Amino acid sequence: MNFELLADRQEAIPIVAKWYFEEWGRHIPGNSIEQTIERLNMKLNRDKLPLPILAVENATVLGAVQLKLYEMDIYPEKEFWLGSLFVSPTARRKGIGTALINKIVTIAADYGVEELHLQTEFLDGGFYRRLGWSSIETTRYKGFNVNVMVRKL
């Protein structure tokens, strides 16, 4: 498996947009796959954040994740976030999510990030807890109960 920047594999944008829309975006009133594609097109960065990364094997995109800035506006003091982690349902339970998380942690460390945050609807922390993330708090955000977590790098 390889990791590629979304900017270097733009043909994957419709696939990732479909994943993101179906997982999270369909809950946003007035949102569409087309708007999700537009938002991804604004994130085609190679050397600044946000930085979308893909897991690719044999030319097939298996998953995606992003290193983001200020993901939750209720935490203006928390700058760096791991977000938008999604693994294709057919590729799950093969370590791809863990590999994507580890890749973002490495990239974040290369940027000099000392603390990386995330939010998850798995209120027990899910597999993030097993990967060294600690809960900060559970809160309601944009209509969902989420566990806000942190990992020291």
Residue 26 has pLDDT above 90, yes or no: no
pLDDT tens, position by position, 101-112: 999 999 999 999
Domain boundaries, the chain: 2-152
Task: Check whether 44 has a pLDDT greater than 90.
Answer: yes
**Domain 2-152 grouped into CATH 3.40.50.300:** no
The pTM of the full predicted model, rounded to 2 decimals, is: 0.93
Tens of pLDDT, residues 109-149: 999 999 999 999 999 999 999 999 999 999 999 888 999 99
Work out the percent of the chain whose per-residue pLDDT is above 90: 93
HEC profile of the chain: CEEEEHHHCHHHHHHHHHHHHHHCHHHCCCCCHHHHHHHHHCCCCCCCCCEEEEEEECCEEEEEEEEEECCCCCCCCCCEEEEEEEECHHHCCCCHHHHHHHHHHHHHHHCCCCEEEEEECCCCCHHHHHCCCEEEEEEEECCEEEEEEEEEC
